[in-house]
């Protein structure tokens, strides 16, 4: 039997005739979706005349619409918006908000800071950010951006650097657009130390620079200020040692060489050689300090999540058995493309990978990580057991204990031993979320070996011979990869900067 719900006449009446505040909020939301500033202002003025109660959400929408009516100073379309009437209206609404005793949120300060920056009052834009603590609001990258871009736009370099220092003190990480603006103002004021610093900050922030950023970099090397930097005599052994410690690709010891810089567009061969100057680019690794921190981080998390398996036993074993150049994710290799009717754990695939690594590394055994449960299952077959026992006798096999996740073991071993890792696992699983940082991606690029089997024939795809990142050579030249869509990496454009 169908139950018919009776609607209260009063409820029905309210739905047809919503309260003025509710109707205002609905219509204001529609203006926000349509980016209709004029409509929103008309609604606001009506609401004020009717003495409606507005909350911080209403004010935030209104101020945001006012602040988004002109381009950011950090965008290519940026222009001074001093005459834009939306700026004065935005400040008027903000003052009304404060007058009502409503505290601004981070979103409010961000929008008002944009208004101040567009009006040309970059000092006020920065002061707004610095007073956020009074409202228990925490600045974000977007909150500090307007003041930073405004100072850069007005070539007020020292004030821009002060904003950066403030952001760093709050733990805010600058991205390419912010660093590019700081680089540009440093170029325009001829601050060679800052230019050098921002080039290195960019190399840590992005893999390939945008076209706009590459043009800023190129402009530095074509200015007279750049001719005055550098030296002819430096300790080559020290530079090489520092580069090795850094993981390759840069030394960070200052400008090297003398004379005019020559900037050209180039490409890089599959072997990693610049097709313009012939320099071989580095395959950049994370530095030694980062590597140790990375290994410690993995071990710490593994011990928390692998408490029953005594992960520390594996650490101690690895300390005694550290002479490996490659680690193999056994399950990943053996289960590759085995999702068919008769598929299963293919020890022949694993054997092919182990054999290839052994023969190409001057007869050094890799370390195969295999779960104990899998080992026991495979050992039931005498032919499999013979292979497994042989590997174990050579010190090439480690079986992880019952209840463990072998991912922790092969990752820790590869990082701790600074060797290659054979796996097609892209490590996007939830257990790798904590590693979602730039140095993890850099480590993967340098150490992960992919593989495939084409008609049962193994093909290993070794790490690239060079890294897609800004590189500084031991002789002072620079190579800068530029963003873009290319059929393959050999077609990518690079800035080649030599003396």
CA distances from 474 to 93, 237, 283 (A): 57, 10, 14
Q: What is the pLDDT of residue 1?
A: 43
Model confidence band, residue 436 (pLDDT cutoffs 50, 70, 90): low
Which of the two residues, 13 and 387, has the higher pLDDT score? 387
CA nearest to 462, candidates 498, 420, 429: 420
Average pLDDT over residues 307-333: 91
Strands (E), 31-137: none
Residue 384 has phi, psi (to 5 degrees) of: -65, -45
Please give the pLDDT value at position 362. 86
Q: Is it the case that residue 470 has pLDDT exceeding 50?
A: yes
Q: What pLDDT sits at residue 11?
A: 46
Say yes or no to pLDDT of 10 above 60.
no
321: phi then psi, degrees, rounded to nearest 5: -130, 80
User: Terminal CA-to-CA distance of the chain, rounded, Å?
Assistant: 89
Cα–Cα distance, 68 to 358 (Å, whole number): 61
pLDDT tens-place string over residues 323-354: 999 999 999 999 998 765 555 788 999 999 99
pLDDT value of position 155:
96
Per DSSP, the three-state class of 52 is coil
Distance (Å, whole) CA 444 – CA 432: 12
Q: Is the pLDDT of residue 13 over 50?
A: no
* Model pLDDT, residue 297: 87
Q: Reply yes or no on whether the pLDDT at 82 is more than 60.
A: no
Does 68 score more than 60 pLDDT?
A: yes
Report the length, in residues, of the chain: 499
Give yes or no for residue 58 having a pLDDT over 80: yes
pLDDT digits (tens, 9 = 90+) for 235-262: 999 999 999 888 889 999 999 999 999 9
User: How far is the C-alpha of 143 from the C-alpha of 107, rounded, in Å?
Assistant: 8
pLDDT at 156: 97
**pLDDT tens digits, one per residue of 375-420:** 999 999 999 999 999 999 999 999 999 888 899 999 999 999 999 9
309 pLDDT tier (thresholds 50, 70, 90): low
Q: What pLDDT, in 10s, does the model give residues 160-210?
A: 999 999 999 999 999 999 999 999 999 999 999 999 999 999 998 888 999
Q: Which residue has the tokens 């990943």?
A: 332
Share of the chain above pLDDT 90, in %: 66
| pLDDT above 80 (res 307) | no
Residue 152 has a pLDDT of 96
Provide the token pair at 48.
């004020």
**Is the model's pLDDT at 8 over the cut of 70?**
no
Q: What is the pLDDT of residues 119-150, one digit of tens each?
A: 889 999 999 999 999 999 999 999 999 999 99
Residue 375: how many CB atoms within 10 A of its CB?
Answer: 18
pLDDT on residue 290:
81
How far, in whole angstroms, is CA 321 from its chain's centroid?
A: 34
pLDDT mean over 254-278: 94
CA distance 388 to 213: 54
Residues 425-448, mean pLDDT to the nearest whole number: 73
Query: Which has more confidence, 474 or 8?
Result: 474
At residue 115, does pLDDT exceed 90?
Answer: yes
**pLDDT at 38 > cutoff 50:** yes
List own/partner pairs for 193-196 with CB under 8 A and 24 or more apart. 194/157, 194/161, 195/220, 196/229, 196/254, 196/255
> 462 versus 440: which is more confidently predicted?
462
The C-alpha atoms of residue 87 and residue 117 are separated, in whole angstroms, by 10
Q: What's residue 288's pLDDT?
A: 80
Mean pLDDT of 31-52: 91
More confident residue, 309 or 33: 33
């Amino acid at each position: 039997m169908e139950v018919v719900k009776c609607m209260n006449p009063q409820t029905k009446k309210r739905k047809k005739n919503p309260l003025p505040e509710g109707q205002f909020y609905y219509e204001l939301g529609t203006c926000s979706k349509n980016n209709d500033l004029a409509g929103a202002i008309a609604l606001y003025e009506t609401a004020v005349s009717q003495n409606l109660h507005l909350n911080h959400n209403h004010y935030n929408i209104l101020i945001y619409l006012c602040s988004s009516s002109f381009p950011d100073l950090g965008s290519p379309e940026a222009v001074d918006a001093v005459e834009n009437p939306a700026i004065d209206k935005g400040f008027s609404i903000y003052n009304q908000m404060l007058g009502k005793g409503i505290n601004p949120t981070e979103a409010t300060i961000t929008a008002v800071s944009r208004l101040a920056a567009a009006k040309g009052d970059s000092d006020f834009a920065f002061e707004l950010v610095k007073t956020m603590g009074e409202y228990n609001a925490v600045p974000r990258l977007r909150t500090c951006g307007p003041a930073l871009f405004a100072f850069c736009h007005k070539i007020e370099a020292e004030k821009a650097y002060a904003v950066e220092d403030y952001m760093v003190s709050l733990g805010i990480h600058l991205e390419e657009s912010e660093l590019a603006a700081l680089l540009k103002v440093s170029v325009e004021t001829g601050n060679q130390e800052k230019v050098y610093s921002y080039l290195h900050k960019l190399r840590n922030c992005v893999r390939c620079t945008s076209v706009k950023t590459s043009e800023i970099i190129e402009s530095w090397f074509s200015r007279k200020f750049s001719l005055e930097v550098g030296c002819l005599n430096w300790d080559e052994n020290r530079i090489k040692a520092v580069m090795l410690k850094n993981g390759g690709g840069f030394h960070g010891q200052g400008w090297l060489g003398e004379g005019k810089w020559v900037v050209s567009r180039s490409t890089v061969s599959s072997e990693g050689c610049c097709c313009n100057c012939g320099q071989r680019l580095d395959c950049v690794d994370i530095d030694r300090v980062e590597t140790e921190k990375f290994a410690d981080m993995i071990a710490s998390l593994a011990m928390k999540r692998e408490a029953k398996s005594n992960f520390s036993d594996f650490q101690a074993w690895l300390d005694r058995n550290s002479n490996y150049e490659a680690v193999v994710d056994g399950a990943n290799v053996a289960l590759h493309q085995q999702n068919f009717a008769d598929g299963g754990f293919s020890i022949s695939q694993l054997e092919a990978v182990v054999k290839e690594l052994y023969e190409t590394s001057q007869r050094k055994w890799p370390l195969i990580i295999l779960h104990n449960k899998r080992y026991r299952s495979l050992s039931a077959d005498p032919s499999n057991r013979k292979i497994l026992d042989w590997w174990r006798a050579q010190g090439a096999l480690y079986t992880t204990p019952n209840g463990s996740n072998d991912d922790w073991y092969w990752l820790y071993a590869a990082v701790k031993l600074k060797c290659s890792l054979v796996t097609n696992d892209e490590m996007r699983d939830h257990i790798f979320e904590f590693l979602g940082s730039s140095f993890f991606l850099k480590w993967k690029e340098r150490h992960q070996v992919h593989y495939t089997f084409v008609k049962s024939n193994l093909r290993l795809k070794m790490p690239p011979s060079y890294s897609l990142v800004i590189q500084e050579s031991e002789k002072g030249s620079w190579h800068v990869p530029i963003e873009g869509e290319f059929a393959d990496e050999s077609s990518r454009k690079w800035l080649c900067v030599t003396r």
